Structure 1
Amino acid sequence: MAIANDQGPDRDEGRRLATATPRPEARRGRGATANPVGRFEAARRDAFDDGWEADAPSPLRTEVRAERSASVIARNTSPDIPFDRSLNPYRGCEHGCIYCYARPTHAYLGLSPGLDFESRLVTKPDAARLLARELAAPGYRPDTLALGTATDPYQPIEREHRLTRAVLEVLAQARHPVGITTKSDLVLRDLDILAPMAARNLVLVAVSLPTLDPRLSRRLDPRAPRPDRRLAAMRTLTEAGVPVMVNISPIIPGLTDHEIEALLEAARAHGASRIGHALLRLPGEVKDLVADWFDEHHPAKKERAFALLRQARRGQENDSRFGHRFKGEGPYAEMIRQRVRLAGRRLGFAFGRMALNCQDFRRPGAQLDLF
């Protein structure tokens, strides 16, 4: 893993690397099968194998750069999202989930939403300090902070950089509510913070689990922990008193939709008490990346998958309208909703995110009351 420390990615270097897609041997263990140029770049090139590279190519390495930010809390007003503020300590995600709707954001850095997104990562080393400063602002009003909405806060580089842990330490000290979304059992490392927060109703952990099939998972999200490890993490979190939601997201038509009931049964057996779900989204460059992925891994299922998706997206692969982006509409989307609802009720799940405690908030740096 190569590490640099500067003010952010070099756009010219990003532009150069984004034009070349490594050979299959070099990208083994990665999610994307291509590395297309970002949509904001003026020049485009097509890479091809001319047969001169006889030696086996070196594996694609992960590079990490630091970014200096002025603020760290992102705000949104979307009616589709059950929170109005979020924080992501990292840009890009080494888990390599092919379906990740955050992939197009790498184009803003002059990088590719394809392989660059999972191999050229950006850290925010000042995240905890900036968070404390923003929470301490006189006009700040507490509400659930979503951690890991775009990229996983417990992706592999968190083991070294520990930015998520530093953010949680700030939130715990401030008694600020947080909702965590992750695919990783690395979240268990921070049980010493999460369990006391849970005792004050300050935390909910959502574990994403789109499939129980380890072979399919290896291709969908190649560097995320196996499904059985995510289930084990649910059990450990629950036993420690931390409430767990299972996110069966994304539901991929014709590929994972048959697993809905089995996913919910497994998650419930491992302690999950709430459900979240979303139909596959294909914004921006994700559409072509997913299409290429199907061509390489499941060509016989591609036509059906995209046909069902278009049925739920008004004849298109993607529908960006508020209220429809995550759930879709039409007979297929309604069938998915009914299956989730019926199975969830049968198993005793609650639906959606829970209300967390905003009443005990203590502004960082403020003098505490004396009792």
Structure 2
Amino acid sequence: MDKEKVIKGRGAQLRVHNRFDALKYETRDDFLEYCRLEGDEAEDNKTQYIRVYPKTIVNKVDSPDIGMMYSMNPYQGCEHGCIYCYARNTHEYWGYGAGLDFERRILVKEDAARLLEKKIKHRNWKAYPIVLSGNTDCYQPAEKKFELTRECLKVFLKYRHPVGMITKNALITRDLDILSALAADNLIGINISITSLSERTRRILEPRTATIKRRFETVKALSERGIPVNVMIAPVIPSINSHEILPLAKKAAEMGASSIAFTVVRLNGAIGQIFTDWIKKTMPDRADKVLHQIEDCHGGQLNDSRFGIRTRGEGKIADQIHGLFHLAKQKYFKDKGMPKLDISLHEAFKNGQMKLF
């Protein structure tokens, strides 16, 4: 890896143009040379937290490929910096880029808990699991400062409302008290994303996430308290982590996970450009091989928007991934799975206390 060309602590290595913007940002060579002579940095690599105040927080999910009906995201943008993240494209709707902006401009929805409470107290609302982090990680570094996710969990517990969570951060163990209380009523399901057993791979693929060791420890800590955990081996990237499916599944089972799941990587929108630039800088020896194998999974393109295929892939390489995953489930998770969450309790607690009659 050429350290002079890599921005430390970031996944994306460039800013990319927002397709909705009329103006385009460019870093010219003469400006870079001026900064070098002056001893200045061309741009600030620090994370900025920007407070925003949307009118609603719960979103209906229409995609048939995603196993959720409702999601909510206390934060937009994600400092974890996972290079493959599908959520990068959504940052363009907020006026930012999908590259470095996605990792350095974090939008903080300070009213998240209040908006959630308003939604699930509405007389027409019928309980159905709401998933935290359908788009960006609710336990990313910003959560340590703002604690919006913890406040939302308190709302779910108060109204006995089912909730799902997706994260790759060990910070979730901070909230074991609330999570355990939710689990006692079968109101919580956790998805922990673990994409590799290699710390080197983790550092360049997901630079600001919890270590692999801490993530497995998190799976164990949750499972030991009766909190069901699904390990997401996602995304599977050919020639980067595709060979790790079986050992990852074995380790997940040993740590007490209830189930495993996976997706095949896809590089839609601006992510194709961002990923291609990244892999040529971080893995130049296998960049072309990886890119061609990803294309093989998606009809010859990095971009794949076909429902039913885009997250599963097709072709020989995708078939091999599916075969390995089927074997992993049969070997380590046969007759196991995540419980169906209870949607019956919420109505009695809708007014903030249990109805007696």
Match of residue 331, structure 1, among 291, 316, 338? 316
Match of 1:47 in 2: 27
Provide Cα deviations, 1:181-220, integer angstroms capped at 9, x if missing partner: 0000100000000011112111111110111111111111
Q: How does 1:74-85 map to 2 (within 5 A)?
A: 74-85=59-70
C-alpha distance in 1 between matches for 2:335 and 2:12: 34
Match of 1:11 in 2: none
Match of 1:18 in 2: none
Report the Cα offset of residue 59 of structure 1. Answer: 5.6
C-alpha distance in 1 between matches for 2:29 and 2:287: 25
| Aligned partners of 2:86 and 2:268 also within 8 Å | yes
Provide Cα deviations, 1:66-107, integer angstroms capped at 9, x if missing partner: 111111100022211111100100000011111100001111
Match of 1:35 in 2: 15
Report the Cα offset of residue 344 of structure 1. Answer: 1.4
| Aligned partners of 2:229 and 2:338 also within 8 Å | no
C-alpha distance in 2 between matches for 1:26 and 1:301: 17
What's the secondary structure of 1:248's corresponding residue?
Answer: strand
| Aligned partners of 2:239 and 2:290 also within 8 Å | yes
C-alpha distance in 2 between matches for 1:328 and 1:106: 25
Report the Cα offset of residue 365 of structure 1. Answer: 2.4
What's the secondary structure of 1:276's corresponding residue?
Answer: strand
| Aligned partners of 2:5 and 2:281 also within 8 Å | no
C-alpha distance in 2 between matches for 1:349 and 1:165: 34
Match of 2:350 in 1: 364
Q: How does 1:150-229 map to 2 (within 5 A)?
A: 150-229=135-214
Report the Cα offset of residue 221 of structure 1. Answer: 0.9
Match of 1:98 in 2: 83
C-alpha distance in 1 between matches for 2:22 and 2:335: 48
C-alpha distance in 2 between matches for 1:195 and 1:154: 17
Match of 2:128 in 1: 143
Report the Cα offset of residue 109 of structure 1. Answer: 1.8
Aligned partner of 2:80: which letter?
H
C-alpha distance in 2 between matches for 1:26 and 1:252: 21
Report the Cα offset of residue 27 of structure 1. Answer: 3.1
C-alpha spacing 1:351/1:322, structure 2 compared with 1 (3 Å)? farther
Report the Cα offset of residue 352 of structure 1. Answer: 6.9
| Aligned partners of 1:276 and 1:352 also within 8 Å | no
Q: Which runs of 5+ in 1 are unaligned?
A: 1-22
Percent identity between the aligned chains?
38
| Aligned partners of 1:249 and 1:280 also within 8 Å | yes
C-alpha distance in 2 between matches for 1:89 and 1:230: 22
Provide Cα deviations, 1:204-262, integer angstroms capped at 9, x if missing partner: 11110111111111111111011111001111111111111100001111111111111
Match of 1:242 in 2: 227
Provide Cα deviations, 1:246-288, integer angstroms capped at 9, x if missing partner: 0000111111111111111111111112111001121110000
Report the Cα offset of residue 52 of structure 1. Answer: 2.6
- Confirm whether residue 61 of structure 1 aligns to residue 53 of structure 2: no
Report the Cα offset of residue 367 of structure 1. Answer: 5.8
| Aligned partners of 1:152 and 1:182 also within 8 Å | yes
Q: Name the TM-score, length of structure 1 as normaliser.
A: 0.90
Q: Name the TM-score, length of structure 2 as normaliser.
A: 0.93
- Confirm whether residue 113 of structure 1 aligns to residue 98 of structure 2: yes
Aligned partner of 1:198: which letter?
A
Report the Cα offset of residue 349 of structure 1. Answer: 5.0
C-alpha distance in 2 between matches for 1:99 and 1:350: 31
The Cα RMSD (Å) is 1.8
Match of residue 253, structure 2, among 236, 256, 268? 268
| Aligned partners of 2:238 and 2:294 also within 8 Å | yes
Runs of 4+ in 1 over 4 A off after TM superposition: 23-26, 349-353
Q: Which runs of 5+ in 2 are unaligned?
A: none
